[in-house]
Amino acid sequence: MDVVLIGAGRVAGAFAPFLKQLGTLRVWNRTLEHAVTLAQTVQCNVIENADDVNGYLAFVSVTDSALSDVAKTFKGRFTVAIHTSGFHSSSILNGMADSVGSLHPWLPIPSQDPSLLHDAIATFEGDQTALDVASDLARLIPLRLFTIESDKKVLYHTAAVLLSNYVDALMIKGGEMLNEVGLKEDEREIFVKEIVSTTIDNYIKMGKESLTGPAVRKDLKVVEAEAAALKGDWSIVYTLLANIIMKGDV
Protein backbone atom coordinates (compact mmCIF):
# COMPACT_ATOMS: atom_id res chain seq x y z
CA MET A 1 0.00 0.00 0.00
CA ASP A 2 1.34 3.45 -0.94
CA VAL A 3 0.80 5.61 2.16
CA VAL A 4 1.38 9.35 2.41
CA LEU A 5 1.42 10.91 5.87
CA ILE A 6 0.39 14.54 5.59
CA GLY A 7 1.57 16.34 8.70
CA ALA A 8 4.54 15.97 11.03
CA GLY A 9 3.23 16.97 14.46
CA ARG A 10 2.71 14.97 17.64
CA VAL A 11 -0.20 12.82 16.44
CA ALA A 12 1.44 12.24 13.05
CA GLY A 13 4.64 11.14 14.77
CA ALA A 14 2.80 8.72 17.04
CA PHE A 15 1.05 7.04 14.09
CA ALA A 16 4.01 7.08 11.68
CA PRO A 17 5.71 3.78 12.66
CA PHE A 18 2.43 1.90 12.31
CA LEU A 19 1.58 3.53 8.98
CA LYS A 20 4.95 2.31 7.75
CA GLN A 21 3.85 -1.23 8.54
CA LEU A 22 0.85 -0.81 6.21
CA GLY A 23 3.08 -0.36 3.19
CA THR A 24 5.48 2.18 1.68
CA LEU A 25 5.38 5.36 3.76
CA ARG A 26 6.25 8.87 2.60
CA VAL A 27 5.88 12.08 4.63
CA TRP A 28 4.84 15.53 3.46
CA ASN A 29 4.52 18.63 5.61
CA ARG A 30 4.09 22.29 4.80
CA THR A 31 7.33 22.93 6.71
CA LEU A 32 9.85 20.66 5.01
CA GLU A 33 12.29 20.47 7.92
CA HIS A 34 9.59 18.98 10.17
CA ALA A 35 8.85 16.31 7.57
CA VAL A 36 12.55 15.53 7.27
CA THR A 37 12.92 15.14 11.04
CA LEU A 38 9.97 12.75 11.27
CA ALA A 39 11.03 10.77 8.20
CA GLN A 40 14.49 10.30 9.67
CA THR A 41 12.96 9.06 12.91
CA VAL A 42 10.86 6.37 11.22
CA GLN A 43 13.28 5.81 8.32
CA CYS A 44 11.01 6.62 5.41
CA ASN A 45 11.10 9.00 2.45
CA VAL A 46 10.15 12.67 2.35
CA ILE A 47 8.03 14.33 -0.33
CA GLU A 48 9.54 17.75 -1.00
CA ASN A 49 7.24 18.95 -3.76
CA ALA A 50 3.50 19.18 -3.14
CA ASP A 51 2.91 18.18 -6.77
CA ASP A 52 4.24 14.73 -5.88
CA VAL A 53 1.74 14.15 -3.07
CA ASN A 54 -0.41 11.25 -4.29
CA GLY A 55 -0.95 7.57 -3.61
CA TYR A 56 -3.44 5.04 -2.32
CA LEU A 57 -3.86 6.25 1.28
CA ALA A 58 -3.55 9.79 2.61
CA PHE A 59 -3.30 9.83 6.39
CA VAL A 60 -3.95 13.45 7.26
CA SER A 61 -2.78 14.63 10.66
CA VAL A 62 -2.84 18.42 10.61
CA THR A 63 -4.60 21.14 12.61
CA ASP A 64 -8.38 21.43 12.30
CA SER A 65 -8.03 24.78 10.54
CA ALA A 66 -5.73 23.29 7.89
CA LEU A 67 -7.88 20.30 6.91
CA SER A 68 -10.01 22.10 4.34
CA ASP A 69 -6.96 23.54 2.57
CA VAL A 70 -5.29 20.11 2.50
CA ALA A 71 -8.40 18.57 0.91
CA LYS A 72 -8.49 21.28 -1.76
CA THR A 73 -4.76 21.20 -2.45
CA PHE A 74 -4.69 17.44 -2.96
CA LYS A 75 -8.09 17.01 -4.57
CA GLY A 76 -8.45 13.71 -6.44
CA ARG A 77 -4.95 12.51 -5.54
CA PHE A 78 -5.86 9.45 -3.43
CA THR A 79 -8.07 6.39 -3.25
CA VAL A 80 -8.60 6.63 0.53
CA ALA A 81 -8.10 9.64 2.82
CA ILE A 82 -8.36 9.47 6.61
CA HIS A 83 -7.84 12.36 9.02
CA THR A 84 -7.22 12.33 12.78
CA SER A 85 -9.39 15.25 13.86
CA GLY A 86 -11.87 14.61 16.64
CA PHE A 87 -13.89 17.69 15.69
CA HIS A 88 -14.40 17.43 11.91
CA SER A 89 -16.30 14.68 10.17
CA SER A 90 -14.74 12.77 7.30
CA SER A 91 -16.78 14.83 4.82
CA ILE A 92 -14.23 17.65 5.05
CA LEU A 93 -11.98 15.44 2.90
CA ASN A 94 -14.64 14.87 0.22
CA GLY A 95 -13.06 15.16 -3.21
CA MET A 96 -9.58 14.40 -1.96
CA ALA A 97 -10.17 10.65 -2.33
CA ASP A 98 -12.77 8.15 -3.47
CA SER A 99 -13.29 7.03 0.15
CA VAL A 100 -12.93 9.14 3.28
CA GLY A 101 -12.90 8.58 7.03
CA SER A 102 -11.69 9.93 10.34
CA LEU A 103 -9.72 8.06 12.99
CA HIS A 104 -9.40 9.90 16.29
CA PRO A 105 -7.45 8.60 19.30
CA TRP A 106 -9.44 9.07 22.51
CA LEU A 107 -6.54 10.33 24.60
CA PRO A 108 -4.19 13.30 24.79
CA ILE A 109 -1.01 12.88 22.74
CA PRO A 110 1.57 15.36 24.09
CA SER A 111 4.54 13.90 22.18
CA GLN A 112 5.48 11.80 19.14
CA ASP A 113 5.46 8.63 21.23
CA PRO A 114 3.98 5.58 19.45
CA SER A 115 3.59 3.71 22.75
CA LEU A 116 0.84 6.16 23.76
CA LEU A 117 -1.42 4.57 21.17
CA HIS A 118 -0.94 0.99 22.33
CA ASP A 119 -4.33 -0.42 23.41
CA ALA A 120 -5.86 3.07 23.34
CA ILE A 121 -9.48 3.76 22.42
CA ALA A 122 -10.03 5.33 19.00
CA THR A 123 -13.18 6.28 17.12
CA PHE A 124 -13.91 6.00 13.41
CA GLU A 125 -16.54 7.54 11.19
CA GLY A 126 -16.68 7.42 7.43
CA ASP A 127 -17.38 4.96 4.62
CA GLN A 128 -16.75 1.21 4.53
CA THR A 129 -13.57 1.25 2.45
CA ALA A 130 -11.96 3.77 4.77
CA LEU A 131 -13.16 1.71 7.75
CA ASP A 132 -11.43 -1.37 6.33
CA VAL A 133 -8.13 0.54 6.16
CA ALA A 134 -8.61 2.04 9.62
CA SER A 135 -9.37 -1.41 11.00
CA ASP A 136 -6.14 -2.80 9.53
CA LEU A 137 -4.21 0.02 11.18
CA ALA A 138 -6.04 -0.49 14.46
CA ARG A 139 -5.03 -4.15 14.53
CA LEU A 140 -1.38 -3.26 13.97
CA ILE A 141 -1.11 -0.77 16.84
CA PRO A 142 -3.41 -2.16 18.43
CA LEU A 143 -6.30 0.22 19.06
CA ARG A 144 -9.71 -0.48 20.57
CA LEU A 145 -11.79 0.81 17.68
CA PHE A 146 -15.32 2.20 18.03
CA THR A 147 -17.52 3.73 15.34
CA ILE A 148 -19.60 6.89 15.76
CA GLU A 149 -22.00 8.82 13.55
CA SER A 150 -20.64 11.67 11.46
CA ASP A 151 -23.16 14.22 12.72
CA LYS A 152 -22.13 13.55 16.34
CA LYS A 153 -18.48 14.59 15.92
CA VAL A 154 -18.82 18.05 17.51
CA LEU A 155 -20.64 16.63 20.54
CA TYR A 156 -18.07 13.82 20.77
CA HIS A 157 -15.08 16.15 20.65
CA THR A 158 -16.62 18.56 23.15
CA ALA A 159 -16.87 15.64 25.57
CA ALA A 160 -13.20 14.85 24.93
CA VAL A 161 -12.19 18.46 25.64
CA LEU A 162 -14.17 18.55 28.88
CA LEU A 163 -12.72 15.23 30.07
CA SER A 164 -9.13 15.95 29.06
CA ASN A 165 -8.11 19.55 28.39
CA TYR A 166 -10.37 21.14 30.97
CA VAL A 167 -9.56 18.54 33.62
CA ASP A 168 -5.88 19.27 32.89
CA ALA A 169 -6.49 22.99 33.40
CA LEU A 170 -8.25 22.34 36.72
CA MET A 171 -5.43 20.07 37.93
CA ILE A 172 -2.81 22.65 36.97
CA LYS A 173 -4.69 25.43 38.78
CA GLY A 174 -5.33 23.23 41.82
CA GLY A 175 -1.63 22.38 41.95
CA GLU A 176 -0.69 26.06 41.78
CA MET A 177 -3.01 26.79 44.70
CA LEU A 178 -1.43 23.99 46.73
CA ASN A 179 1.89 25.67 46.05
CA GLU A 180 0.50 28.84 47.61
CA VAL A 181 -0.60 26.73 50.59
CA GLY A 182 3.07 25.81 51.04
CA LEU A 183 3.30 22.24 49.77
CA LYS A 184 6.51 21.15 48.07
CA GLU A 185 6.43 19.93 44.44
CA ASP A 186 6.54 16.21 45.31
CA GLU A 187 3.87 16.75 47.94
CA ARG A 188 1.65 18.62 45.46
CA GLU A 189 1.90 15.73 43.00
CA ILE A 190 0.78 13.30 45.71
CA PHE A 191 -2.14 15.53 46.73
CA VAL A 192 -3.34 16.05 43.13
CA LYS A 193 -3.01 12.38 42.21
CA GLU A 194 -4.78 11.23 45.38
CA ILE A 195 -7.88 13.39 44.99
CA VAL A 196 -8.20 13.06 41.21
CA SER A 197 -7.75 9.27 41.14
CA THR A 198 -10.19 8.83 44.02
CA THR A 199 -12.71 11.08 42.27
CA ILE A 200 -12.44 8.96 39.11
CA ASP A 201 -12.86 5.73 41.08
CA ASN A 202 -15.91 7.13 42.85
CA TYR A 203 -17.47 8.26 39.57
CA ILE A 204 -16.96 4.82 38.01
CA LYS A 205 -18.68 3.22 41.00
CA MET A 206 -21.44 5.74 41.68
CA GLY A 207 -21.97 8.01 38.65
CA LYS A 208 -23.65 11.31 39.54
CA GLU A 209 -24.04 10.19 43.14
CA SER A 210 -20.27 10.62 43.54
CA LEU A 211 -20.60 14.43 43.55
CA THR A 212 -19.68 15.99 46.90
CA GLY A 213 -18.65 19.41 48.16
CA PRO A 214 -20.16 22.77 49.12
CA ALA A 215 -22.17 23.19 45.89
CA VAL A 216 -23.89 19.83 46.39
CA ARG A 217 -24.70 20.85 49.96
CA LYS A 218 -25.74 24.31 48.68
CA ASP A 219 -23.52 25.92 51.27
CA LEU A 220 -23.59 29.41 49.77
CA LYS A 221 -21.27 30.98 52.34
CA VAL A 222 -18.50 28.51 51.51
CA VAL A 223 -19.11 28.83 47.75
CA GLU A 224 -18.94 32.63 47.90
CA ALA A 225 -15.85 32.66 50.12
CA GLU A 226 -13.96 30.25 47.87
CA ALA A 227 -14.98 32.11 44.71
CA ALA A 228 -13.69 35.30 46.33
CA ALA A 229 -10.37 33.58 47.12
CA LEU A 230 -9.81 33.16 43.38
CA LYS A 231 -9.02 35.93 40.94
CA GLY A 232 -10.37 36.98 37.56
CA ASP A 233 -11.75 34.30 35.26
CA TRP A 234 -11.02 31.53 37.76
CA SER A 235 -13.50 33.08 40.19
CA ILE A 236 -16.08 33.15 37.38
CA VAL A 237 -15.34 29.52 36.47
CA TYR A 238 -15.70 28.40 40.08
CA THR A 239 -19.01 30.26 40.47
CA LEU A 240 -20.41 28.94 37.17
CA LEU A 241 -19.56 25.34 38.04
CA ALA A 242 -21.03 25.74 41.51
CA ASN A 243 -24.25 27.17 40.04
CA ILE A 244 -24.50 24.31 37.53
CA ILE A 245 -24.22 21.79 40.35
CA MET A 246 -26.67 23.62 42.62
CA LYS A 247 -29.25 23.85 39.82
CA GLY A 248 -28.93 20.13 39.16
CA ASP A 249 -27.77 20.65 35.58
CA VAL A 250 -25.14 17.96 35.96
Q: What's the per-residue H, E or C state across 52-84? A: HCCEEEEEECCCHHHHHHHHHHCCCCEEEEEEC
CATH code for the domain of 225: 1.10.1040
48 lies in some domain: yes
Which pLDDT value is given to residue 107? 95
Q: Which of 128, 151, 174 is the last residue of a domain?
A: 151
CA neighbor of 26 nearest in space, from 48, 11, 14, 9: 48
What pLDDT sits at residue 93? 98
Residues 124 and 167 in one domain: no
- Listed as ranges, residues in the chain with pLDDT below 50 are none
Give pTM, 2 decimals. 0.91
Dist CA 44 CA 57 (whole Å): 15
* Structure confidence at residue 32 (pLDDT): 97
pLDDT at position 42? 97
pLDDT at position 16, please? 98
Q: Does residue 126 share a domain with residue 79?
A: yes
Claim to verify: residue 123 and residue 206 sit in the same structural domain: no
> Does 156 reside within a domain?
no
Same domain, 170 and 106: no
